[in-house]
């Protein structure tokens, strides 16, 4: 998830690009860059770190141009550094572009381009696009046609803006899967990944759809498909405030991030499944895959929500890979001189990649000679850099302190790792294919659950004054109970506990009365009958029950006060679905209590101190 902005007109584009990038910084902030044309020459300035550092660098250069593009990066391929920052240019520096998205077939395209003699400067997937377009320019096509032909070969997602010094009167832009909006001005036009970057200059916008290419000149706009069909586009008037726009029109980042989950899970899966073999391909683990498959024990270490993801990972690894797996809080692991054997593999899961306890635990394990692996969201973060190998979750920047989309992406990546190992062990191709097919269906099932938002808000109204909550689940859904309780505590300040449902009778049952709401995570799986018994035990004691159940389960409605129905999937993937209503429930209760959802008291997004 990166931010892109572009300008063509009569004004100096440099301050417009910098202002736009500042507004887009929430989309990515590990490096930034601009590319402009001056007297048919291309000038590119890039900087690692925040846009303010780029701004300082640019101030000294005193640049002026009427056409330019700018980018703020959230790394997916290649660490955050100046070389990997955008724009990327062709080998003679006449063509440059900015890209938001992921190119799935970039390895294949890169191989072909290397054979043609193209030299790559960065580790990014984006750089293949600029050389691919260049290869068509070299065959004599104009810029627009070259972009169309190149995009016919590209698999994956993109929001692109491209400038060519030999056609200095235009910016060509294109979109598939990544947002892109064109701003129409008077004698000037704009492009951006979202309207917040250009709203200060125009309220007239055109939204590009997937597979569309647009040509922006200073006083004209036209659009075609990548297959060269002319299209008419409608101009819309923006009525939202800038503040609303940053949050994608949602009231809070947390809600925006909950709603993004179909897309973020898709991004975690993108390009990582090999359908015909019923397995996954994870480039970041390729050097260690044999060692990992042969490991005698897997340890998973993390904090908070990431630790809950680890617990689900334990169930997955033991069920399918048949490797004994243990999950431990990083804060405990780091101080208890853990026993680490020669054939242990240790995963460190962290959204930020900077959590102090997880980082210290990782360094301790590395020092003891273990194979240390990361599952991180932030590319180039300390854990990502210091582990021997790892997998990025590709969830994009998570701003809300309560982790939501990072969790479902972590579960998705754990499922992909399970497939990778299990297929190399005992899992059959057919069973691997079932898991892969089910995984691919998860994003649309999440979409379906998100449609229950209003229904869940009504349930939140009923329970907003509760002072305690109990969350109960079994098997794969026990960690979901813990995660649901954590979400409730951290943003609504309601005391909440998660337990394996069967543990209730060993203590928590004493708490049950008409003032104790109990959330049961009760999808139809092999423990369903058992959990129904637990529901009856709570019912008998007057507890108020909310159940997360499957769509085809009509029986459970008779036993509980409220049901939230989620689609069915295989057991190992169920947590990715069952957690979504719990995120929404916590969110709505916190909003109704008038609390600061995105920045709850006493909490920080990244806990970089002990």
Take residue 553 and report the two structure tokens written for it: 């389960």
The stretch near ligand M6R (CB under 6 A) out of 205-213, 397-405, 423-431, 463-471 is: 397-405
One of 51, 254, 292, 303 touching ligand M6R (CB under 6 A):
303
Burial (0-12, 13-18, 19+ Cβ within 10 Å), 300 = buried
Minimum distance between the CB of residue 394 and ligand M6R, rounded to whole angstroms?
A: 15
Minimum distance between the CB of residue 352 and ligand M6R, rounded to whole angstroms?
A: 3
Which pairing describes strands 344-350 and 371-376: parallel, antiparallel, or unpaired?
Answer: parallel
CA dihedral over 83, 84, 86, 88, signed as positive or negative: positive
Q: How many CB atoms lie within 10 A of CB 148?
A: 20
Minimum distance between the CB of residue 364 and ligand M6R, rounded to whole angstroms?
A: 16
Within 13 Å of residue 364, how many CA atoms lie on the same side as its CB? 19
Within 13 Å of residue 36, how many CA atoms lie on the same side as its CB? 24
**CA 129 and chain centroid, separation:** 22
CA dihedral over 546, 550, 551, 554, signed as positive or negative: negative
Q: How many CB atoms lie within 10 A of CB 163?
A: 26
Does 606 bind ligand M6R (CB under 6 A)? Our answer is yes
Site map (CB under 6 A) of ligand M6R, residues 236-265, x = contact:
------------------------------
Measured in residues, the chain has a length of: 610
**53/603 with CB nearer ligand M6R:** 603
Burial (0-12, 13-18, 19+ Cβ within 10 Å), 528 = middle
**33/479 with CB nearer ligand M6R:** 479
Residues 336-355 that bind ligand M6R (CB under 6 A): 350-352, 355
Minimum distance between the CB of residue 377 and ligand M6R, rounded to whole angstroms?
A: 8
Does 103 bind ligand M6R (CB under 6 A)? Our answer is no
One of 285, 401, 427, 577 touching ligand M6R (CB under 6 A):
401
DSSP 508-527: GGGG-STT-EEEEE--SSTT
Q: Rounded to whole angstroms, how far apart are CA atoms 610 and 601?
A: 18
Q: Which residue numbers are catalytic?
A: 2, 605
Minimum distance between the CB of residue 607 and ligand M6R, rounded to whole angstroms?
A: 5
**383/531 with CB nearer ligand M6R:** 383
The stretch near ligand M6R (CB under 6 A) out of 69-77, 119-127, 401-409, 532-540 is: 401-409
Q: Rounded to whole angstroms, how far apart are CA atoms 587 and 237?
A: 31
**216/383 with CB nearer ligand M6R:** 383
Beta-carbon contacts of residue 314 (< 8 Å; ≥ 6 apart): 300, 325, 326, 327
Minimum distance between the CB of residue 207 and ligand M6R, rounded to whole angstroms?
A: 32
Per the CB < 8 A criterion, the answer to whether 361 and 213 are in contact is no
DSSP 302-317: E-HHHHHHHHHHHHHI
One of 490, 576, 587, 591 touching ligand M6R (CB under 6 A):
490
The stretch near ligand M6R (CB under 6 A) out of 395-403, 452-460, 466-474, 588-596 is: 395-403
Q: Rounded to whole angstroms, how far apart are CA atoms 30 and 122?
A: 15
* Cis, bond preceding 87 (omega within 30 deg of 0): yes
Q: Rounded to whole angstroms, how far apart are CA atoms 328 and 362?
A: 12
Q: Rounded to whole angstroms, how far apart are CA atoms 57 and 21?
A: 14
**79/356 with CB nearer ligand M6R:** 356
Residues 356-385 that bind ligand M6R (CB under 6 A): 358
Minimum distance between the CB of residue 301 and ligand M6R, rounded to whole angstroms?
A: 10
Minimum distance between the CB of residue 356 and ligand M6R, rounded to whole angstroms?
A: 9
Does 65 bind ligand M6R (CB under 6 A)? Our answer is no
Within 13 Å of residue 451, how many CA atoms lie on the same side as its CB? 8
Locate tokens 């754990």: which residue? 414
Site map (CB under 6 A) of ligand M6R, residues 468-487, x = contact:
------------------x-
Radius of gyration of the chain (CA): 25
**189/305 with CB nearer ligand M6R:** 305
**76/351 with CB nearer ligand M6R:** 351
Q: Rounded to whole angstroms, how far apart are CA atoms 396 and 406?
A: 8
Residues 540-599 that bind ligand M6R (CB under 6 A): none
One of 202, 306, 387, 563 touching ligand M6R (CB under 6 A):
306
Site map (CB under 6 A) of ligand M6R, residues 442-471, x = contact:
------------------------------
Does 304 bind ligand M6R (CB under 6 A)? Our answer is yes
The backbone region for 444, taken as left when phi is positive above 0, alpha when psi lies in -120 to 50, beta otherwise, is: alpha
**205/486 with CB nearer ligand M6R:** 486
**124/331 with CB nearer ligand M6R:** 331
Minimum distance between the CB of residue 3 and ligand M6R, rounded to whole angstroms?
A: 22
Does 402 bind ligand M6R (CB under 6 A)? Our answer is yes
Residue nearest to ligand M6R (CB): 304
**353/500 with CB nearer ligand M6R:** 353
Per the CB < 8 A criterion, the answer to whether 302 and 350 are in contact is yes
Minimum distance between the CB of residue 590 and ligand M6R, rounded to whole angstroms?
A: 12
Per the CB < 8 A criterion, the answer to whether 198 and 212 are in contact is no
Task: Fill in the DSSP letter of residue 168.
Answer: T
Binding site for ligand M6R (CB under 6 A): 303-306, 350-352, 355, 358, 401-403, 486, 490, 603, 606-607
């Amino acid at each position: 998830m990166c931010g892109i902005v572009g300008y063509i007109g009569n004004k100096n584009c440099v301050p417009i690009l910098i202002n736009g990038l500042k507004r887009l910084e929430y989309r990515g902030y590990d490096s930034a860059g601009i590319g402009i044309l001056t007297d048919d020459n291309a000038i590119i300035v890039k900087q690692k770190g925040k846009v303010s550092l780029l701004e300082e660098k640019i101030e000294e250069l005193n640049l002026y141009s009427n056409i330019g593009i700018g980018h703020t990066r959230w790394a997916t391929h290649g660490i955050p550094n100046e070389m990997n920052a955008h724009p990327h240019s062709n080998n003679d520096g006449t063509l440059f572009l900015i890209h938001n998205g992921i190119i799935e077939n970039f390895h294949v395209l890169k191989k072909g381009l290397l054979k043609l003699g193209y030299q790559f400067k960065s580790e990014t997937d984006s750089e293949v696009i600029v050389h691919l377009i260049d290869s068509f320019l070299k065959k004599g096509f104009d810029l627009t046609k070259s972009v169309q032909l190149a995009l016919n070969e590209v698999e994956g997602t993109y929001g692109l803006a491209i400038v060519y010094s030999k056609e200095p009167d235009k910016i060509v832009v294109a979109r598939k899967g990544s947002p892109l909006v064109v701003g129409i001005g008077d004698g000037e036009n704009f492009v951006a990944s979202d309207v917040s970057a250009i709203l200060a200059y125009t309220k007239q916008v055109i939204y590009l759809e997937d597979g569309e290419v647009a040509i922006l000149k200073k006083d004209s706009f036209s659009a075609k498909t990548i297959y060269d069909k002319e299209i008419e586009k409608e101009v819309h008037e923006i009525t939202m405030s800038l503040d609303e726009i940053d949050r994608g029109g949602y009231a809070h980042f947390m809600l925006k991030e909950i709603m993004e989950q179909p897309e973020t899970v898709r991004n975690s899966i993108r390009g990582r499944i090999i359908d015909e073999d019923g397995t996954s391909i994870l480039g970041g683990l390729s050097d260690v895959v044999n060692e990992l498959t042969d490991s005698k024990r897997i340890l998973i270490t993390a904090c908070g929500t990431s630790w809950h993801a680890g617990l689900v990972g334990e169930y997955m690894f033991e069920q399918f890979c048949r490797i004994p797996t243990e999950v431990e809080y990083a804060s405990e692991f780091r101080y208890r001189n853990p026993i680490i054997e020669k054939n242990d593999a240790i995963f460190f899961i962290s959204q930020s990649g900077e959590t102090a306890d997880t980082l210290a635990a990782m360094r301790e394990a590395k020092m003891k000679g273990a194979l240390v692996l990361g599952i991180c969201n932030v590319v180039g973060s300390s854990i990502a850099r210091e582990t021997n190998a790892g997998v990025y979750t590709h969830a994009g920047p998570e701003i809300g302190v309560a982790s939501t989309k990072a969790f479902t992406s972590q579960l998705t990546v754990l499922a992909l790792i399970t497939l990778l190992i299990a297929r190399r062990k005992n899992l059959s191709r057919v069973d691997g294919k079932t898991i892969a097919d089910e995984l691919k269906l998860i994003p649309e099932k999440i979409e379906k659950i998100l449609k229950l938002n209003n229904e869940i808000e009504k349930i939140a109204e009923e329970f907003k004054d509760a002072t305690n909550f109990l969350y109960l689940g079994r098997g794969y859904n026990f960690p979901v109970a813990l995660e649901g309780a954590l979400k409730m505590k951290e943003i609504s300040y309601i005391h909440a506990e998660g337990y394996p449902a069967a543990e209730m009778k060993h203590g928590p049952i004493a708490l049950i009365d008409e003032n104790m709401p109990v959330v049961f995570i009760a999808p139809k799986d092999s423990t369903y009958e058992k959990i129904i018994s637990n529901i009856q035990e709570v019912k008998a004691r007057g507890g108020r029950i909310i159940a997360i159940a499957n769509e085809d389960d009509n029986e459970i409605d008779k036993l509980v006060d409220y049901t939230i129905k989620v689609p069915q999937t295989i057991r190992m993937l169920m947590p990715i679905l069952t957690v979504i209503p719990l995120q929404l429930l916590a969110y709505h209760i916190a909003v109704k209590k008038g609390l600061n959802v995105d920045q709850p008291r006493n909490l920080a997004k990244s806990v970089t101190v002990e």
